[in-house]
Amino acid sequence: MEETLKSLANNFKEKEGNIISLLQETQDAFGYIPEEAVYWFSKELDIPASNFFGVATFYAQFYLKPRGKNIITACCGTACHVKGSDRIINNLKRELNLADEQNTTEDKKFTLEQVACVGACSIAPVVIINKRVYGKMSTDKMARELKVLKEGSDE
């Protein structure tokens, strides 16, 4: 880990020194932003840790906790909303046994995210499963896809 952090910090020093870019690169490397990475940067770069946390908690894209193996992103844009994205999300939560504020399953196999709009409104409702966009989703179709993923991740 230290090696990676060092190269990221060097990158940061050479360029214009942008906290957002540093956090984006950190997340690319680890899949999330580990707390210890923030403290390490804080010491190394002499920037208060609160600055990092301030930025990391401000933007929706940053995760301070590890995420699941499969990432399901449900679009909650207006078009998706009026075409029933709520129901898809509620079903998913139930199927994945996720509590209200929880978005990653205990076994770390699934993360369910909600985003404001992925801009594919004419094929609403939209769900993105592991970076692939699925349009005109229904609770049935979603259940089928989830079954495939569950079988795949058991192997």
Partner 1 sequence: MNKNITIQVCMGTGGIAAGGLEVLDAFESLMKEKNIPAEFKKECSMHKVGCRGLCARDVLVDVIADNRRTIYQYIKPEMVERIVDEHVVGGNPVSEWQVDEDYHKFHEKQVKVVLSDCGNIDPEDINAYMAVDGYKAVEKVFTSMTPEEVIDMMKKSGLRGRGGAGFPTGVKWEACRKAEASQKYIICNADEGDPGAFMDRAVIEGNPHAVIEGMVIGAYAIGASKGYVYIRAEYPLAVERLKKAIKDAKERGFLGKNIFGKGFDFDIKIKLGAGAFVCGEETALIASIEGQRGMPRAKPPFPVHRGLWGKPTVINNVETLANIPYIIKKGHEWFSSYGTEKSKGTKVFALTGKVKNTGLIEVPMGITLREIIYDIGGGIEGGKALKAVQTGGPSGGCITPDMLDINVDYESLAKVGSIVGSGGMIALDEDDCMVNVAKYFLQFTQSESCGKCVPCRIGTKRLLEIMDRITKGSGRQGDIELLEKLSSDIKAASLCGLGQTAPNPVLSTIKYFREEYEAHLQGKCPAKACREMLTYHIIEEFCKGCGACLRACPAGAITGEKKKPHKIAPEICIKCGACFDVCKFKAVGKE
Cβ atoms of 67 and 31 within 8 Å: the answer is yes
> Which of 84, 153 has the CB closer to partner 1?
84
Q: Which residue in the set 81, 109, 141, 150 belongs to the binding site for partner 1 (CB under 8 A)?
A: 81
> Which of 24, 105 has the CB closer to partner 1?
24
Q: Is 71 an interacting residue with respect to partner 1 (CB under 8 A)?
A: no
- Report which DSSP code applies to 123: G
Kindly report the number of other CB atoms within 10 A of residue 141's CB atom: 14
Cβ atoms of 97 and 90 within 8 Å: the answer is no
Q: Is 118 an interacting residue with respect to partner 1 (CB under 8 A)?
A: yes
Tell me the helix, strand and coil percentages in the chain, rounded to 5: 50, 10, 35
Contact positions vs partner 1 (CB under 8 A): 16-21, 23-24, 54-55, 58-62, 76-79, 81-82, 86-87, 90-91, 94, 115-124, 126, 131-135, 138-139
